[in-house]
């Protein structure tokens, strides 16, 4: 049986994260399969792009803890749906998998994680005797899946999300086997910048996986492609890495799928008639069409969203 990296996206925002994660795994030459679990709300266009990046795109039911009280304590009312993550145990056509949140980014090859056993994970920065469920090694098994669901119905989750369940279920993680403690560099949350800056300065460069844990996700920001700046972020370094990959490799695929239909690219559109634009040699419309079809849309210039919108307006009138 093969081995796979698995992620999850129940909507188009997290799907963008999944696309960047998938690309980052490919760019670092993983030899493993890539699987994305999606919910029914993911758009057809996003699905089409996911199909190009992942080996398997699997539609699953969205499970929701409905536990508003515990989620409110975390100030994350949106995380009930992370129960959906538990579906990953049903991927029994793989012998071993590594689950990764859609808000993670791989910055070097991590195939060595498959040498670890279930359940291996890195400490949670907020409570290090809990593991963070943004990156973990597991063995698909319908039996385990059944037990997890049963656990959910009988006990609920202490945080309202999957991490609470998984820590209760694999409750000896903190004490039983040090091999199941992944080094923090396999799930380095950007929070470390604030909580332990000297350690981040000392070790941050060794990180293999960055996790944009917390309410603000890379795709919640707006990116200015001309200045290569992330608007409104005081610590833009890691975010810039995400945006560089998104804007260079994922956005062109999305633009191709959406064609003339508007969608939120997350990029600020360049003001018209900037110097660069005027210096760009004009291309013929046939050549432009050819480039577009090859996925090389000039999405920051002539093929920018506001130009597409103008064209649409003309048609509609």
- Tell me how far, at minimum, the Cβ of 85 lies from Mn ion, in Å: 10
- In which residue are the tokens 């590594």 written? 98
- Tell me how far, at minimum, the Cβ of 133 lies from Mn ion, in Å: 8
**Other CB atoms within 10 A of residue 204 CB:** 17
- Tell me how far, at minimum, the Cβ of 77 lies from ligand UDP, in Å: 10
**Which residues here bind Mn ion, judged by CB under 5 A?**
101, 103, 134, 213
- Tell me how far, at minimum, the Cβ of 76 lies from ligand UDP, in Å: 7
What is the DSSP annotation of the chain? -EEEEEEEESSHHHHHHHHHHHHHHHHTT--SEEEEEE-TTS-HHHHHHHHHH-SEEEE-PPP----HHHHHHTT-GGGGGGGGGGGGGG-TTEEEEEEE-TTEEE-S--GGGGGS-SSEEEEPSS-TTSEEEEEEEE---HHHHHHHHHHHHHH--TTSSHHHHHHHHTTTTTTS-GGGB--GGGSEETTHHHH-HHHHHHHGGG-SEEE--SS--GGGSEEETTTTEEET-S-HHHHHHHHHHIIIIIHHHHHHHHTTS----SBPPPPTT-HHHHHSPP--HHHHHHHHHTT---TTTTT-HHHHHHHHHHHH-
With CB under 5 to 8 Å by kind, the binding choice for 81 among ligand UDP, ligand GLC, Mn ion, none is ligand UDP
Give the residue, chosen from 159, 225, 243, 256, that forms a contact with ligand GLC under the rule CB under 6 A.
159
| String marking each residue 89-108 x if it binds ligand GLC according to CB under 6 A | ------------x-------
State yes or no: residue 133 binds ligand GLC (CB under 6 A): yes
**Which residues here bind ligand UDP, judged by CB under 6 A?**
7-11, 14, 78-79, 81-82, 85, 101-103, 134, 213-214
With CB under 5 to 8 Å by kind, the binding choice for 253 among Mn ion, ligand UDP, ligand GLC, none is none
- Tell me how far, at minimum, the Cβ of 178 lies from ligand UDP, in Å: 24
The CA distance from 113 to 187, in Å, is: 12
Give the residue, chosen from 21, 42, 79, 98, that forms a contact with ligand GLC under the rule CB under 6 A.
79
Give the residue, chosen from 17, 22, 123, 134, that forms a contact with ligand GLC under the rule CB under 6 A.
134
Position of minimal CB gap to ligand UDP: 101
Nearer to ligand UDP, 161 or 252 (CB): 161
- Tell me how far, at minimum, the Cβ of 78 lies from Mn ion, in Å: 11
| String marking each residue 194-223 x if it binds ligand GLC according to CB under 6 A | -------------------x----------
Give contact residues for ligand GLC (rule: CB under 6 A): 79, 82, 101, 132-134, 159, 161-164, 213
């Amino acid at each position: 049986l093969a081995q796979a990296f698995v992620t999850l996206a129940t909507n188009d925002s997290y799907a963008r994260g999944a696309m960047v994660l998938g690309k980052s795994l490919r760019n670092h030459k993983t030899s493993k399969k890539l699987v994305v679990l999606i919910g029914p709300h993911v758009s057809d266009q996003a699905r089409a792009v996911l199909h190009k990046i992942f080996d398997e795109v699997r539609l699953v039911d969205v499970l929701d803890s409905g536990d508003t009280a515990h989620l409110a304590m975390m100030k994350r009312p949106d995380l009930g749906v992370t129960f959906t993550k538990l579906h990953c145990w049903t991927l029994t056509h793989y012998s071993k998998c590594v689950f990764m949140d859609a808000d993670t980014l791989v910055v070097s090859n991590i195939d060595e994680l498959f040498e670890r056993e279930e359940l291996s994970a890195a400490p949670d920065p907020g409570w290090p005797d809990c593991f963070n469920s943004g990156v973990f090694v597991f063995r698909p098994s319908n039996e385990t899946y059944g037990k997890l669901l049963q656990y959910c119905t009988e006990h609920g989750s202490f945080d309202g999300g999957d991490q609470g369940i998984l820590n209760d279920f694999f409750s000896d993680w903190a004490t039983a086997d040090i091999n199941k403690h992944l080094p923090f560099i396999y799930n380095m949350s950007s929070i470390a910048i604030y909580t332990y800056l000297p350690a981040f300065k000392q070790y941050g460069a060794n990180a293999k996986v960055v996790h944009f844990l917390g309410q603000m996700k890379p795709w919640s920001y707006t990116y200015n492609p001309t200045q290569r700046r992330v608007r409104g972020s005081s610590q833009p370094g890691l975010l810039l890495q995400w945006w560089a990959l998104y804007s260079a490799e994922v956005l062109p695929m999305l633009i191709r799928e959406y064609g003339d239909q508007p969608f939120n690219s997350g990029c600020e559109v360049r003001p018209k008639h900037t110097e660069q634009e005027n210096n760009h040699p004009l291309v013929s419309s046939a050549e432009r069409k050819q480039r577009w079809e090859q996925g090389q849309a000039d999405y920051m210039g002539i093929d920018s969203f506001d130009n597409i919108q103008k064209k649409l307006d003309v048609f509609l009138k």
